Structure 1
C-alpha cells in the first residue's frame, strides 16, 4: 500500500468514526483498530504541511573575518567563512528538515 493510499484510507476511517457518533475507543474496538494508531493518524492528517519560503540575498565577498551565518526556522545554524564552501550550501540546505 502506498503512502498516498494509507493517507486516503485513514482519512476515510477518521470520517467514518466521526459520522458514527461512537466514541473513538468504541469505534476502534468495533473495527479492530488500535486506539493509539487512530490518534496517530488523526494528528498526522490534521497537521498542515509546512511550506518553506525562500529568500534570495546577494552575498558579499567573504573574508575570514566576515562569516555568513544561515539560521533555519527549525533551529539549524550554518556558518560559512570560506568561498570554496559556498558551492556545497545548496546540497547542505536540502538535507536540513
Structure 2
C-alpha cells in the first residue's frame, strides 16, 4: 500500500533528523524537504491509528438499557450496561484519546 510505504519512509526520515544533530530547518534544507511536510508527518505519526484504539466490550445479558452512555465530540458513543463494563471505562477512554 502506497500510504503505508510513505508512512514508513517518513518514520525513517524523522529518525534520521533526530540522529543528525541538526535542527529541523537545516535538516530539511539539506534533504530538500519542506518544514511543513516534516511537521505534518511528525504529528501524523505521533497519533495512533484508529484501529489500534478500539476495544470490544461483551454485551451484558439482562440489561437492555444502558446504565451509562457517553458521547464524544467525534461522534463515538459508548454504552455501558453492566457494572463490570464501568470498571473498563478508563481503558476505553484512554483508547479513544
Scaled by the length of structure 2, the TM-score of the pair is: 0.58
CA RMSD of the aligned region, Å?
3.1
Query: After TM superposition, which residue ranges in structure 1, 4 or more long, deviate above 4 angstroms?
Result: 67-73
Structure with the largest fraction of helix: 2
Structure 1 match to 2:48 = 48
Report the TM-score when normalising by structure 1: 0.58
Unaligned runs of 5+ in 2: 78-97
Residue in 2 aligned with 1:83?
Answer: none
Count of equivalent residues: 76
Instruction: Write the distance in 2 (CA, Å) between the matches of 1:56 and 1:25.
Output: 49
Aligned-partner SS, 1:57 = coil
Higher relative contact order (CA 8 A, sep 6+): 2
